Amino acid sequence: MSDARDTGLTLDPKYDRDGLITAVVTDVDSGDVLMVAHMNAQALALTVETGFAHFWSRSRQSLWKKGESSGHMLAVRDIRIDCDQDAVWVKAVPAGPTCHTGARSCFFRRVTAEGLTPVDAEA
């Protein structure tokens, strides 16, 4: 049996014990997964309000606007939340590489039986 969080139309994110929710970011045009990060309530609210992706840095313990220093911001086109409201899906237009390494996506390596192999940029 579902409750209002599972089937209703009220935003009621289920944050973890650290006050975070997982955010998966994809390219709105290609559908490619660009990154996975975390949001706290303030980051989610700022993302909704401004139209630009904001996250919570677990390593720095601070709020950050993606691309604020690099210029590689993520312009948000759609935000969805999963059925039990413990993860969000952000569809965005990237203004450059998304990964801190300079790669278009943080998912630039494939896991194989032999180890890691680079993913072709066109694949």
Binding-site residue positions: 82-84, 86, 99, 106
39 vs 1, 20, 29, 54, 69, CA distance in Å?
A: 28, 5, 23, 7, 19
Residues annotated within a binding site for Zn(2+): 83, 99, 106
User: Whole-angstrom Cα distance, residue 107 to residue 37?
Assistant: 13
User: Whole-angstrom Cα distance, residue 18 to residue 111?
Assistant: 29
For the chain, the helix, strand and coil percentages under 3-state DSSP, each to the nearest 5: 10, 40, 50
Residues annotated within a binding site for Mg(2+): 82, 84, 86
Q: Which residues pair with 43 in a beta bridge?
A: none
